[in-house]
Structure 1
């Protein structure tokens, strides 16, 4: 009887595993960083991501993803996300972007170690747990986002984008109760391996705007970006990468912010 029970249990477990679609991926990096205080630091990290997916009998897709280091928050809806999608669009919940973030064209990272200093597009974003609805057809996309319903400061965002023949434009609006509204416009153009991205945002009478260019030449990538933030600080970043193949990429970058200083790094990033 025990042997029969064990065999039956093994059969059920193996059938469940066969029916599930769970995959693992990972990323990591290692390198040397010069921080804003002119100190040189060794930096490294390794992360694993779980990606889950499935399909109902009627053809609806569903799934989710979370990083292993965010497993606890993901179980509470505050890390990672889950979704269901079909011809009606895609509905996601969890630690999701605002609708403006989901539709905008963002400026690139420079190098491989995410040298940022808030030098990319700044958005209000959303707090977890939030909901994001997305729908796209023939190059046109729309999105609607709402924050957690029980929080004191309600969040609502909308976004729309349109892409055609290597060009794209997007507009987004973010509302957060007891905070200024944020309007964001972005655009992107790609031609023969060169991509240019520009953006403009207005928040409570203050503006942010910027421009970035990235290009690829075989294994070599080059990135440049400039930004004026809401406080009037100027950001300038330059980066270069070299694809080693097999998921490994070398890179170096430097990013300067007026009034704050310059950060720089060199290292290798990995994708698994």
Structure 2
């Protein structure tokens, strides 16, 4: 991505000097998105106080779009320690109605980087969100399908449009090894002015040998007083062999909820056809009744200069779903 220099100044404090800059990066995308029997969930409250849930259908095909602008501020000390902060401005369409949403800034992420050590604080991505090959080769302009579709555990993730969890992430890389961990001191409101602690933590390890990367992560939510501590264990493998790239994914998704507790698995692949065209495939599933199964194919055509045409076609299904759902999209993306 190109970085546009906004300002460059010298910061002087207690005799040390640091070079600072603010840069912008991001992307825009727009096109047509199709979801079979698309609907939007609405609620109404009756005079007796009862809540009725409505699920009216809307247009299957809508205009989809996203504009994302990352704003990064960086400063590096004389000793080589980098301090940085990021906020993100993002605008998406309403996926239910197709109407436009306003752009807004998310929560800030702060980082300290020195050599192979990185520490993030604030709106951070945890060990799963940062895990090599967790997402694999996602399909579609909107990345609507991925090999992880059978996972239901709620892990710590970076929020592009919200304030985030206000947590801490640590990563250390040395040679072919990398280790990561995160901690989120979460508090959940249970109603009636009551709260409960639901701290989340996770750890990961990654090893790269030749053209293959293997990664494993474990995370748990310590829900005090609930009698259950849901957890997630994930193993990924990924590699590249010339024009072909592929990933494998397997997870123990211990949500401790009958409908979603079980094993999840998936795989994805990419193949460079030449002539600026890349083909994509992804499959994800799980053995629990409510686990989402996704199968999708897609393609990317590189127009040069950071612009591309993208699209995909897939099917969503699950054991307790009344029918499978076809999903597709096509449009343009430009990176800056």
Partner of 1:51: 72
Partner of 1:223: 280
**Distance change >3 Å, CA 185–CA 236, structure 1 → 2:** same
Partner of 2:144: 115
- RMSD after superposition: 2.6
Tell me the distance in 2 between the aligned counterparts of 1:84 and 1:203: 32
Which residues of 2 match residues 1-272 of structure 1 at below 5 A? 15=9, 19-37=19-37, 39-69=60-90, 74=106, 79-87=107-115, 89-106=117-134, 107-116=136-145, 120=149, 122=151, 124-126=154-156, 128-148=165-185, 152-178=197-223, 179-204=229-254, 206-218=262-274, 219-229=276-286, 230=288, 231-258=290-317, 259=321, 260-272=324-336
Tell me the distance in 2 between the aligned counterparts of 1:150 and 1:113: 32
**Distance change >3 Å, CA 121–CA 143, structure 1 → 2:** farther
Tell me the distance in 2 between the aligned counterparts of 1:131 and 1:26: 24
Contact 1:155 1:177 in 2 (8 A): yes
- Tell me the TM-score normalised to structure 1 length: 0.85
**Distance change >3 Å, CA 45–CA 239, structure 1 → 2:** same
User: How far off is 1:115 after superposition?
Assistant: 2.0
Tell me the distance in 1 between the aligned counterparts of 2:68 and 2:21: 20
- Tell me the TM-score normalised to structure 2 length: 0.69
**Distance change >3 Å, CA 40–CA 105, structure 1 → 2:** same
Tell me the distance in 1 between the aligned counterparts of 2:218 and 2:115: 25
Tell me the distance in 1 between the aligned counterparts of 2:312 and 2:298: 4
User: How far off is 1:121 after superposition?
Assistant: 7.0
Tell me the distance in 1 between the aligned counterparts of 2:281 and 2:334: 22
SS class of match (1:96): coil
User: How far off is 1:33 after superposition?
Assistant: 1.0
Partner of 1:9: none
User: How far off is 1:26 after superposition?
Assistant: 2.6
Deviations 1:107-154 (A, max 9, x none): 222132322388557453216101100001111010011003666211
Deviates more, 1:82-91 or 1:121-130: 121-130
Contact 1:26 1:47 in 2 (8 A): yes
Gapped regions of structure 1 (runs ≥ 5)? 1-12
Partner of 1:8: none
Gapped regions of structure 2 (runs ≥ 5)? 1-6, 12-17, 39-59, 92-102, 157-163, 189-196, 224-228, 255-260
How many residues are aligned here? Answer: 256
User: How far off is 1:262 after superposition?
Assistant: 1.2
Greater fraction of residues in helix: 1
